[in-house]
Amino acid sequence: MRYVVSCFFFLLSAPALRAQADCNPAYRPVVFVHGFLASGDTWAGFAHGFQAVGYCPDRLVAFDWNTLNQQANHAAALDAVIDAVRTRTGAAQVDLIGHSAGGGLGYTYLSDSARATKVARYVHIGSMNQKQPAGPTGTVPTLNLWSDGDRVVPGKEIPGATNIMLPGLDHYQIATSAESIITTFLFFLNDAPIPQVPEWTPSEQVRIGGRALFFGENKPAAHAAVELYYLDPGTGRRSSGTAVATVTADEQGYWAMPEVRTNVPVELVVLAGADARPVHYFREGFVQPHNLVYLRALPGPGTLVSMLLAGLPKSPRQAVINVFSSGQAVVFGRDSLFVNGIPLATEQHAAPEKTAISFFLYDGNDNQQSDLTSVGLFGKFPFLSGVDLFVNPDDAAPLEIVFNGRRQVVRKIRSSDGIQVVVFE
């Protein structure tokens, strides 16, 4: 098993071989359930990997739920999604994957015998310890993936499940690593022949799409406008004065752009209403089709998340930057993160137990200096860090963000004109 995984790991990891094979409708649909404070873009790596070996894109479905609302009947909502997928595809069963808190929801969902019949195989990733495989009597075949490097959920073997410990991975890497993706695929195959991975044919344009949601709550940003700009890689400035493309999300926040140039840095702006604060997303160039590009708008007043974000300045005197690493945490002693040469992967802001993936950077006391102290309420939540860092929007020099050697250059925007999010996937 380990030998097969290592060989297949090479196939999916090599950039020259990563591609979408001919779509195979014989594969069962897969429903993904994300963890606390996360969204469906947790599963971008899984979506790319599974499409590379023949999964049809419309059979890979991310279930978005509000992990801050523990009173809602999330199992019923998940059941409705699974039923809709089964009806649309004609599949009798789906495969189900849950990460972290999503694993807890997966076990809750499968504890009902009627619901358990709808799931052929279940994968429990970086999630709570259990006494038996999923299902009311432990009869749903279960793969349990965990790591000794996970500082959020200490994993261990589940009696009766297929247990694989992936050494040294942080809490998010367990859900994004190539080995996790391949191990899961082989588990779903259940000894069926491994398909051949075709050679990749680069394209000048690809289709991208995803969802516009409100940060933290995952409520759809219905009818939000999404604008696309190409960027000069050296200066971070827009290549044109007007948007290259503008689309409107549907009622559930889903949006798509069919023709986006590859290997060119982009800025995606989400406008969730006439009075909403724009959020500017900066990304490295796309190299392949991408169906899980998530754009989070800022929620309105009166919610827990709005209280968390209430301290973000809205001022022409400074910029507000969020650095978001969707594929792994930034861990002190292992990773490097620099903003204009200032190190942020410090013990204070990137302690291993913090498992920080999202850094909010702004001048918290408005003294126009980078004190590099903790700011806001972000320290009270896992996965989030707030750092007092002053970025002067009147300084024409671009902002340089370097994460583990990967570099993005972006222009500076007054926080009164919007929030900037720099994404490393």
Q: How far apart are CA 172 and CA 328, in angstroms?
A: 5
The per-residue pLDDT for 202 is 80
Provide the number of structural domains found in the chain: 3
Q: Provide the pLDDT for residue 24.
A: 87
Residue pair 344/362 in contact (Cβ under 8 Å)? The answer is no
Provide the residue range defining the domain that includes 152: 2-189
Single residue among 245, 275, 304 that ends a domain in this structure? 304
The answer to whether residues 221 and 253 belong to one domain is: yes
CATH of the domain at 208: 2.60.40.2190
Side-chain half-sphere CA neighbours of 203 within 13 A: 16
If asked whether residues 364 and 295 sit together in one domain, one would say: no
- Identify whether residues 330 and 209 lie together within a single domain: no
- Count how many Cα atoms sit within 13 Å of the Cα of residue 134 in the half-sphere of its side chain: 32
Give burial (CB, 10 Å; 0-12/13-18/19+) of 156.
exposed
Report the 10 Å Cβ neighbour count for 233: 14
CA separation for the pair 40, 32 (Å, rounded): 8
* Residue 198 included in any domain: no
Residue 149 sits in the same domain as residue 232? no
Do 102 and 155 lie in a common domain?
Answer: yes
pLDDT tens-digit series, residues 74-133: 999 999 999 999 999 999 999 999 999 999 999 999 999 999 999 999 999 999 999 999
Q: Which residues of the chain have pLDDT under 50?
A: 1-21
Task: Clarify whether residues 134 and 27 are in a common domain.
Answer: yes
Q: Please tell me whether residues 328 and 409 are part of one structural domain.
A: yes
Calculate the alpha carbon distances from 425 to 67, 69, 316, 322, 329 in Å.
22, 27, 30, 14, 11
30/153 same-domain check: yes
CATH code, domain carrying 342: 2.60.40.2200
Q: Say yes or no: 381 and 425 in one domain.
A: yes
pLDDT in tens, 1-27: 443 343 344 344 433 333 444 788 889
* Residue 197 forms part of a structural domain: no
Verify that 65 and 140 share a domain, yes or no. Answer: yes
Is 110:122 a contact under the CB 8 Å cutoff? yes
The answer on 153 and 15 residing in a single domain is yes
C-alpha span between 280 and 27 (Å, rounded): 37
**Would residue 256 count as lying in a domain?**
yes
> How far is residue 305's CA from residue 322's CA, in Å, rounded to a whole number?
15
State the number of CA atoms in the 13 A half-sphere of 178 facing the CB.
14
Domain end, chosen from 162, 189, 216, is at: 189
- One domain for residues 17 and 98: yes
pLDDT for 4: 39
